[in-house]
Amino acid sequence: MSISTENFVKAIYKQTQVSGGDTKPGTLAKLLSITNAATTDMARKLAAKKLVNYTKYKELTLTTEGEKMALNVLRKHRLWETFLHKTLNLSLHEIHREAEMLEHLTSDFLAEKISNYVGNPEYDPHGDPIPNMHGIITDRHNTILLSQAREHTDYKITRLFSSDEDFFNFCKENNLMIGMDVRVVKQYESNKMTEIAVNNKHVLLNADFTNVIYVKPVLT
C-alpha cells in the first residue's frame, strides 16, 4: 500500500482514540495537510478497496481490514520510537518525527526483529500501547484522562498522547513525564482547566493538554 493510504487509515484510527476527536473529512484534511477534496477522493478510493466506510457528510470509519492496516502501521511506528529512544536517546518529539518516515519502510519481518531486540514492549516511550503482531493491544486498567481526574487526589502519568513538539517541550520543562506523580488540586469545569501540583510546583493546564495526558491513581 502507498504511504498516503497508510497515513490515512492511521489518522482515522488515532482520531477514534482521542477524547472529542472526530473523523470527518474536513478534520482529517487538516491533520494530513491536504485539501478537503483530496480527503473525500481518498475516502472514496479506500472505500472501494474495503478499507474505509464512506458515506457523504458522515464521519469516516475503518473496516476490519482498514483497522488491521492501521494497527500494523502503528506497531511499526511505536517499535521504532522505542528503539530510537533506547538506543540513541532521542527526545519524545524526535523519535516520533523519525518513526513517521521509518514506519512505511519496515517489513513485518523487521518489525518483529526490532520488537525482540527491545524486549517485546507493550508500550512505547510516550506510553502508547504497541499492537502485537496479531494487532492486539494491551489496555491499561484504571487509566483515565487528566481532565477526568478527581480533585485532591494523587496520580501517576502513564501516557502522553501527542506528536506536537511544543507539547513535549512544555511537559519536559514542567516535569510532566511518564511515571511522574502529580496531584490534582482543582478542576475548573466551566473553563475546562485543571490545576495540578508536581514537585511542589503548581501548573494550570487547559483541555488541549488534559485531554491527551493519561494518568492512573497512585495506590496508597
CATH code where residue 9 lies: 1.10.10.10
Number of domains in the chain: 2
Query: At what angle are helices 92-102 and 165-173 packed, to 10 degrees?
Result: 150
With respect to residue 90, please indicate whether it lies within any of the assigned structural domains. no
With respect to residue 135, please indicate whether it lies within any of the assigned structural domains. no
Whether 1 has a pLDDT exceeding 90, the answer reads no
- Give the end of a domain, one of 62, 82, 111: 62
Query: At what angle are helices 25-32 and 3-16 packed, to 10 degrees?
Result: 120
Half-sphere exposure of residue 142, counting CA atoms within 13 Å on the CB side? 8
With respect to residue 193, please indicate whether it lies within any of the assigned structural domains. yes
Pairing relation of β-strands 201-206 and 181-188? unpaired
- Give the end of a domain, one of 32, 62, 92: 62
pTM of the predicted model as reported, rounded to 2 decimal places:
0.91
User: Considering Cα of 66, then 123, then 94, then 118, what sign does the dihedral take?
Assistant: negative
What is the percent of the chain with per-residue pLDDT over 90, rounded to a whole number?
A: 92
Whether 36 has a pLDDT exceeding 70, the answer reads yes
Question: Which amino acid makes up residue 129?
Answer: P
Q: What is the CATH number of the domain that holds 174?
A: 2.30.30.90
Which cell goes with 101?
518516515
With respect to residue 112, please indicate whether it lies within any of the assigned structural domains. no
With respect to residue 166, please indicate whether it lies within any of the assigned structural domains. yes
What pLDDT is attached to residue 220?
A: 66
Where in the sequence is the domain holding 32, given as residue range(s)? Answer: 3-62
Q: Please provide the average confidence, as pLDDT, over all residues in the chain.
A: 95
Location of C-alpha cell 504497541 = 130
